């Protein structure tokens, strides 16, 4: 795959804040617009690792790996996986996922969890190809006002 690279975002810049905001608009029905300061807080959180995909120097995808200790070990979760519509079908989401799994392993996690809505058929096929298995589980959410 020519011109694609995956990097860990280490520094908040206006370019990165604009790109993350644009990608969020493709991911969420209520997207957050990111400022450089807000993105800096996200990047400085010890539990977060933001992976960014570049295609010929343009940011075209992202994934967040969240790792944190709990009494039973290191927990790892993948969140907010999105590739720009113009760059889909090139294996970029697979590369982002692989990079996140590799880092989770390095950090001592024994498993990596993620959630994906059933209607996201392409994403669900990707996760199966990447070695994930579907679990029988119910996700609960409580909205905080």
Contacts 24+ apart (CB under 8 A), 104-109: 104/65, 104/67, 104/74, 104/76, 107/67, 107/74, 107/76, 108/73, 108/74, 109/67, 109/73, 109/74, 109/75, 109/76
Q: Each residue of 59-106: pLDDT tens digit?
A: 999 999 999 999 999 999 999 999 999 999 999 999 999 999 999 999
Percent of the chain predicted with pLDDT > 90? 85
**Domain 4-130, CATH class in plain words:** alpha beta
Which pTM does this prediction carry?
0.92
Q: Which residue ranges make up each domain of the chain?
A: 4-130
């Amino acid at each position: 795959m020519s011109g694609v690279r995956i990097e860990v975002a280490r520094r908040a810049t206006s370019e990165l804040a604009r790109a993350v905001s644009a990608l969020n608009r493709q991911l969420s029905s209520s997207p957050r617009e990111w400022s450089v300061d807000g993105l800096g807080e996200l990047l400085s959180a010890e539990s977060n690792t933001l992976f960014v995909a570049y295609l010929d120097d343009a940011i075209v995808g992202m994934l967040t790996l969240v790792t944190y200790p709990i009494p039973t070990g290191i927990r790892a979760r993948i969140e907010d996986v999105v590739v720009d519509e113009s760059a889909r079908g090139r294996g970029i989401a697979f590369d982002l996922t692989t990079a996140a799994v590799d880092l989770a392993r390095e950090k001592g996690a024994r498993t990596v969890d993620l959630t994906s809505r059933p209607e996201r058929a392409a994403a669900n096929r990707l996760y199966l190809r990447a070695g994930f298995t579907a679990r029988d589980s119910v996700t609960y959410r409580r909205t905080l006002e």
